[in-house]
Chains A and B, each alone.
Chain A
Amino acid sequence: GQQVMQIPQYQHVQEGEDFTTYCNSSTTLSNIQWYKQRPGGHPVFLIQLVKSGEVKKQKRLTFQFGEAKKNSSLHITATQTTDVGTYFCAGQPGTYKYIFGTGTRLKVLA
């Protein structure tokens, strides 16, 4: 079946270091969304990428969609303690449903 994998599963960084999580789909995607889930909370939408090779920035966060529309990445520059949480990508392979990735749990050490 269709799968969306993320690496790494866990990442511990010192505050101020950079962080990157990678998302890989077994099938071509129509679009991809990124969500952040704080411990004990629910997923919160960060961004959606639609075009092949698209790059979007939100302050310290940079999102990329691969040329083949099968992979994506999220890069955080100079992490802060407020960045703690689990980051999920969610890919839409067709018209309707989204398949969530396995998630990357980020811990930031002050």
Chain B
Amino acid sequence: EAGVAQSPRYKIIEKRQSVAFWCNPISGHATLYWYQQILGQGPKLLIQFQNNGVVDDSQLPKDRFSAERLKGVDSTLKIQPAKLEDSAVYLCASSLWGGEEQYFGPGTRLTVT
């Protein structure tokens, strides 16, 4: 069974530029999560989708971050414009349904200079 795929793996941008991350969850998984993990901290949930609907985006900085999950499958997370404090690893995870084991992708390491 293929795992959660993410791209790119690494990205370096200057502040005020925009960036997009892509995630393809495990086939059949209804729930998709985007987390932000700053070095030395635990993952922080940015947004959670159930199929193609948002069930939680309370910690998503909506003035600069946006995410979509078209057709309830893969998803993109965008930052525009980026700030220095956005430097982090962005993790995508999926689960069969909310409240079950989460499978994480390898993450995208973003550096904002």
Contacts and interface: CB of A to CB of B under 8 A. Distances in A.
A5 B30 CA distance: 29
Contact of B99 (A41, A44, A95): A95
Contacts of A95: 98-99
Contacts of A72: none
Given A100-B43, A101-B42, A103-B42, A31 B106 contact: no
Nearest to A43: B104
Given A96-B55, A97-B56, A45 B102 contact: yes
B44 interface: yes
B107 interface: yes
A45 B103 contact: yes
B91 interface: yes
B45 interface: yes
Interface in B91-113: 91, 93, 98-107
Given A30-B99, A95-B98, A42 B105 contact: yes
Q: What's the interface size class on B, roughly?
A: 20 to 34
Interface string B51-83: 000011010000000000000000000000000
A4 B44 CA distance: 11
Given A97-B56, A99-B45, A103-B42, A92 B99 contact: yes
A68 B81 CA distance: 43
A41 B99 CA distance: 23
Given A97-B45, A98-B45, A42 B104 contact: yes
A30 B99 CA distance: 9
B48 interface: yes
B41 A103 contact: yes
Q: Which of A4, A42, A103 has the most CB of B within 10 A?
A: A42
Interface of B: 33, 35, 41-45, 48, 50, 55-56, 58, 91, 93, 98-107
8 contacts: A31-B99, A45-B103, A48-B100, A48-B101, A96-B48, A96-B55, A96-B56, A97-B58
